A and B are shown apart, each in its own frame.
Chain A
Amino acid sequence: AQSVAQPEDQVNVAEGNPLTVKCTYSVSGNPYLFWYVQYPNRGLQFLLKYITGDNLVKGSYGFEAEFNKSQTSFHLKKPSALVSDSALYFCAVRDMNFNKFYFGSGTKLNVKP
């Protein structure tokens, strides 16, 4: 069965410091992995995706994610956090057989000035 785990409910980081939001996955076959961000009272916005190719994927707003097949992880990263990055972040995996997207439980990122 396909699944995604986000082990941290909340991540706190100071502005200007690097941030990492963790995601691990379980899929049969090749993983198609995604990150979305949700600001308060808004819908989810697509940040980036990994399909194939380079393990380091670059996305919107300076975010990037590193695909690690041996560790079955797809951690979201940013070299220097901004207060405006504070939001809820969701990792997702797509089941290509059934065209379903499985979302993690979300990680709340707090960036403090």
Chain B
Amino acid sequence: NAGVMQNPRHLVRRRGQEARLRCSPMKGHSHVYWYRQLPEEGLKFMVYLQKENIIDESGMPKERFSAEFPKEGPSILRIQQVVRGDSAAYFCASSPSRYGASGNTIYFGEGSWLTVV
């Protein structure tokens, strides 16, 4: 019974490098959400994707951040030229469908902790 799978769980990058975070949604789920959690802070919405489509990226920083959810494979959150302020926990969540049973819940992965040194 695989839940939402995220990897890597922990990632250390030097300033200026690239970070790639991967998320495989739960089986049967076609919607993926990415959230960021800074230390001692709440969750901030970043982006909402369906297969091959970005539905809402209103929470994504305008530069250096991008996300995709290809037809095959996991969703990827990519951070280019990382800076110390990017250090955070990045959570992926998935849900079955927009028009499924009312009130479909989203289920979270265990997170990817990015540390920029």
Binding site for B on A (CB under 8 A): 32, 34, 36, 41-46, 49-52, 90, 94, 96, 98-106
Contact = CB atoms under 8 A, between A and B. Distances in A.
Nearest to B45: A100
B52 interface: no
Given A43-B108, A43-B109, A94-B103, A103 B55 contact: no
Contacts of A41: 111, 113
A49 B105 contact: yes
B106 interface: yes
Nearest to B95: A99
Q: Specify the main secondary structure of chain A where it touches its partner.
A: strand
A99 B49 CA distance: 11
Q: Specify the main secondary structure of chain B where it touches its partner.
A: strand
Q: Which 9 A-B pairs have the closest CB atoms?
A: A51-B103, A43-B108, A105-B42, A44-B108, A32-B103, A43-B110, A106-B42, A103-B43, A99-B98
A94 B45 CA distance: 13
A103 B91 contact: no
B1 interface: no
Contact of B103 (A42, A43, A49, A105): A49
B91 A43 contact: yes
A101 B33 contact: yes
Contacts of B111: 41-43
B109 A34 contact: no
Given A43-B91, A100-B48, 20 more contacts: A32-B103, A36-B108, A41-B111, A43-B6, A44-B108, A45-B108, A49-B105, A50-B103, A90-B42, A96-B102, A99-B31, A101-B45, A102-B45, A103-B42, A103-B43, A103-B45, A104-B42, A105-B41, A106-B42, A106-B43
A50 B105 CA distance: 10
